[in-house]
Amino acid sequence: MSSIPWVCSQCLARSTRLVRKPWLLFPRRALQTITDSDLSPALLTRARSLAKEHATLSERLAISFDPKNAKRVGELGPVAKALTEWNNAKKSISELKSLLDDPVAETELRSLAVEELETTQATLTSISNDLKRALVPRHPFADLPCLLEIRPGAGGDEAGLFAFELLRMYITFCTRRGLRSAVIKRELGDGTTDRLSEAILEIEADGAYGLLRTESGVHRVQRVPATESKGRTHTSAVSVMVLPSFPDTGGTDGALNFDDPSSDYYINPQEVRTEKMRASGAGGQHVNKTESAIRLTHVPSGIVVSMQDSRSQQANRKKAWQILRAKLAEARQEAREQELVELRRGVLGGVARMGRGDKIRTYNYGQSRCTDHRSGLTVHNLDDILEGGESLETVMDSVRSWLSDREILAIASEIPEKRQ
Amino acid sequence: MPRIPTRTILKAYQHDPLLPLLLRECRSLESAKNELRWLRERALHMVRPASGGERAVTKYPVFGWRGLLRSMCLTRSRGMPLQYILGDQPFGDLDIKCARGVLIPRHETETITIHAANFILDRMLEDQNGNKGEKASLHILDLCTGTGCISLLLHALLSPVFPCLSIVGVDIDDAAIRVARENTERNVRLGLLSKRALSEVSFRRGDVLQCVRSRAAPEDMANIIGPSLHALWSSRCDVIISNPPYVSPAEYHDGTTSRSVRIFEPRRALVPTVNSVLAPVNDNDVQVGDLFYDRIAVLMSRLDAKLAVLECGSRLQAVRVATLCRDVLGRYDRTGKAIVDVWPVTDVDPAAHAVFIQRTRSQ
């Protein structure tokens, strides 16, 4: 049975290209291979300086309490801890090595040392990974609850249908993870019950933003829509935006307190125009209007939020403000990130940031597959993903680790630049 | 009223066959859609109670939620206010019960009440810097209270700051007093009001026009707030707040007042009822609309209230009321100075305004 089916010579030539250039086969894997035990010297010096700062600050804290210092110490704690562990592991490895090199050592001891060395090497890898993770500064909104906005993009009715399914996917995901969620805005397309034109889901658990922020972006769907009569596959897109949701009363934390004019996320009420969308004419006792819609416009940025779900104007206003704050904070954070990217561009030589305009994930019904374009992970269990099951979590985990790798790279490249 | 284009009616029908019914009263597609959503939510809730409670009592014959929704929409298309159909109206954070015969709380009143509460808090905080003893308690008189919405919302907003609060709502109508008391219990039960409201907010029947003659006597206070509270308040009242009937007979009939309001809401809550014995017989229509403000200003000077907040129907009326109050206060006591402010609720001109009268006593 040595018959090889006939292959066009051009196709053959093309297939050898893959062999010649192996990076074409696994283009994204390259990023995840930097999880070896070696730390770049730049990262190491940074870790050492941070650990030093931690030591001096905790000494000062022992003498007198200062909430600002305490907070910084809490932030640096993981770095310092990981660094000591790393140092210990390094030390024991060098001790073991010197033992192996020692010619007078007994053979029994030697075999023990070899075993010990192997296990220490293994732990060193995980410790250095921890250290890298600890070095990445936490996202400022990571501990906040979040708002998840879903809007259909290109693709007409089909996009609306898929947006509805995405909303259900996130709701079941939250239920499964035990996160409290509430739909605070849901607008359906004209005369339909399953076509979304906009929805906002509030996830009230702390840290939900950190969990879900990788979901921001364009989700692409490829399938034969229910509305299609000729059985053609359509491609449409739904955009998902994850926004931080600020506590109502303003936190004690200075940076996130939106009532504090010195905060980065402060919104001057003077810059927000409130419109009660109602016809002009006599008001008060003369008429009895049921319209309770509120529209807020942030004049400098032109962001408009309108809310009409509740019968109470007060409730509508509260929700509209919550969404406006979230949108502005996200926009400002994004602008800051953009600045950083500009700084790093020379070093990284590419985009180091995932924009929300980029296509991030494809759901292909025909092949029952879901591919995340950032981590490169493909899962062949679409039903489970759309039910918000384990597979979705796997995909999200892969994106998170991809993101932290990127951030480590960015930090590593940032440090030599600072020195120059 | 402009005719609704056939195109809009058609579009409404395509969206939902019940929508053209609501369009008759709502006049715009957006608000009709919202009302349909609220009605549907309520119909579903009434037929299938979410928390396993007993079926809500309804005057509509129930044949499943669709039938209920249909009969609700039909009622609404005849002009019945949505609040009477649903039986409630959100007011601030509160949930106010509405019933036929009692005026429905308006959004403008809500905005004015919240503004007044903030005003009181600001002013009292200023006072607190001066003398500390006086801040502890606050006595508020709510004239023409209706559903009791203003009294209850003020209590909800002020009770966290004032350890001792006393609010009296006065209305001429027995049905209104009943609804107001029911509202207190309802909101305490729902957890929207603190339990203090049960003892600190009270409602009394009283006729503001009759109690206050132009030559007011000190016993007016007892007439209005009742003898027991009169003793407690020791003739002191800090704030008078009121949303009195302010529609003049002409405005009531010439189309300024909408048909639905004329047919379904009580006339007595809208137009000051002229009693020939008390009111000076005067054909001037405008003065009939402003009848209550005159009495309230007199009452304010008699009770020595520090602040009065009065809702008015338009900017013109607010300006008239402001001059009237200045006159009355100047006539009755010459010792103090009154600061009168007109506060527009919205930017739109013909909408409701509020008049804030602040009195500072000269030392």
pLDDT in tens, B189-223: 999 999 999 999 999 888 887 766 545 455 666 66
Q: Do B265 and A288 touch (CB under 8 A)?
A: yes
Choose the closest CB to A286 out of B81, B111, B313.
Answer: B313
Alpha helices in A21-66, H assignment, sequence order: 29-32, 41-63
pLDDT tens track for B65-89:
888 899 999 999 999 999 999 999 9
Tell me if A320 is assigned to some domain. yes
- CB contact B268 to A (< 8 Å): no
pLDDT tens, residue by residue, A223-269: 888 777 888 888 899 999 888 888 765 544 545 566 666 666 778 88
pLDDT for A414 equals: 65
Q: Do A86 and A178 belong to one domain?
A: no
Number of domain units in chain A: 2
A288 phi/psi in degrees, rounded to 5: -130, 90
Measured on CA atoms in the order B86, B88, B92, B93, is the torsion positive or negative?
Answer: negative
| pLDDT at residue B61, as a whole number | 53
pLDDT of residue B83: 93
What pLDDT score does A29 carry?
A: 42
- Identify the band that residue B250 occupies on the pLDDT scale cut at 50, 70 and 90: confident
Residue A233 in domain: yes
Question: Residue B263, Cα to own-chain centre: how many angstroms?
Answer: 19
Q: Tell me: the pLDDT tens digits for B114-169?
A: 999 999 988 877 765 555 555 567 889 999 999 999 999 999 999 988 888 889 99
CA-based nearest residue to A148, from A301, A323, A306, A315: A323
* DSSP E strands, B81-178: 88-91, 94-97, 137-143, 164-171
Over chain B, what is the mean pLDDT?
83
Are residues A283 and A264 both part of a single domain?
Answer: yes
What is the percentage of chain A residues whose pLDDT exceeds 70?
A: 79
pLDDT grade for A137, boundaries at 50, 70 and 90: confident
Q: How far is it, in rounded angstroms, from Cα B186 to Cα B173?
A: 20
- Residues in chain A with CB shorter than 8 Å from the CB of B242 are none
Q: Among the residues of A349-375, which ranges form H helices?
A: none
- Token pair in block for residue B281: 């017989």
Going by pLDDT thresholds of 50, 70 and 90, the confidence category of residue A150 is very high
Which amino acid would we find at residue B333?
D
* Closest to A253 measured CA to CA, from A72, A49, A43, A404: A72
Residues A113 and A154 in one domain: no
Residue that wins the pLDDT comparison between A270 and A193: A270
- Burial class of residue A402 in the structure, from the number of CB atoms within 10 Å of its CB (0-12 exposed, 13-18 middle, 19+ buried): buried
Examine the domain organization and report whether A189 and A53 are in the same domain: no
Could you tell me if A273 and A301 lie in one domain? yes
Residue bearing the bigger pLDDT, A106 or B322: B322
Nearest-neighbour CA in chain A from B163: distance (Å): 22
Question: Is the per-residue pLDDT at B255 higher than 60?
Answer: yes
Search chain B and give the residue with CA nearest A286. B257
In angstroms, the CA A295 to CA A324 distance is 10
Other Cβ atoms within 10 Å of A190 Cβ, number: 11
* Residue where one domain finishes, among candidates A111, A135, A159: A135
pLDDT tens column, B318-350: 999 999 888 888 887 666 678 888 888 876 656
Is B34 in contact with A291 (Cβ distance < 8 A)? yes
Is there a domain that residue A392 lies in?
yes
Band (pLDDT 50/70/90 cuts) for residue B225 is: low
Contact (CB<8Å) B257/A286? yes
Are A126 and A156 contained in the same domain? Answer: no
A333-337, A345-349, B284-288: lowest mean pLDDT where? A345-349
Tell whether A58 and A107 lie within a shared domain. Answer: yes
* pLDDT at A191 > cutoff 80: no
Residue A13 scores a pLDDT above 70 = no
Work out the mean pLDDT of chain A and round it to a whole number.
Answer: 79
Same-domain pairing of A233 and A321: yes
- Domain boundary (A80, A106, A135) is at A135
Last residue of a domain, one of A116, A135, A154: A135
Tell whether A86 is covered by a domain: yes
Judged against a pLDDT cut of 50, whether residue A26 lies above it is answered with: no
Nearest residue on chain B to A280, alpha-carbon basis: B348
Q: Which residue has the higher pLDDT, A204 or B335?
A: A204
| pLDDT at site B253 | 87
Mean pLDDT of A206-213: 88
Residue A378's pLDDT is 92
* Domain shared by A150 and A105, yes or no: no
The complex's ipTM works out to: 0.86
pLDDT at res. B333: 65
pLDDT band at B278 (very low <50, low <70, confident <90, very high): very low
| Residue with more model confidence, B238 or B348 | B238
Bigger pLDDT: A24 vs A209 = A209
Q: Which of A193, A285, A307 to mutate to test the interface with B (most CBs of B within 10 A)?
A: A285
Task: Tell me if chain A has a CB within 8 Å of the CB of B280.
Answer: no
- pLDDT at position B348, please? 60
Whether A188 is in a domain gets the answer yes
pLDDT in tens, A271-293: 888 887 655 567 788 888 888 88
User: Looking at CA atoms only, how far is residue B260 from chain A in angstroms?
Assistant: 8
State phi, psi for B314 to the nearest 5 degrees: -150, 175
Q: Do residue A297 and residue A341 come from a single domain?
A: yes
Does residue A419 lie within any of the structural domains?
no
Query: Best of A290, A292, A313 to disrupt the B interface by mutation (most B CBs within 10 Å)?
Result: A290
- Does the pLDDT of residue A34 top 60, yes or no? no
CB neighbourhood size of A7 (10 A): 9
Residue A27 belongs to domain spanning: 9-135
- Tell me: do A14 and A85 sit in the same domain: yes
Q: Which residues of B touch A291 (CB under 8 A)?
A: 30-31, 34
Mean pLDDT of A372-397: 90
Query: Which residues in chain A touch residue B79, judged by CB atoms under 8 angstroms apart?
Result: none
> Is A327 found in the same domain as A220?
yes
Confidence of residue A420 (pLDDT cuts 50, 70, 90): very low
Radius of gyration of chain A from Cα atoms? 27
CATH number of the domain that A298 lies in?
3.30.70.1660
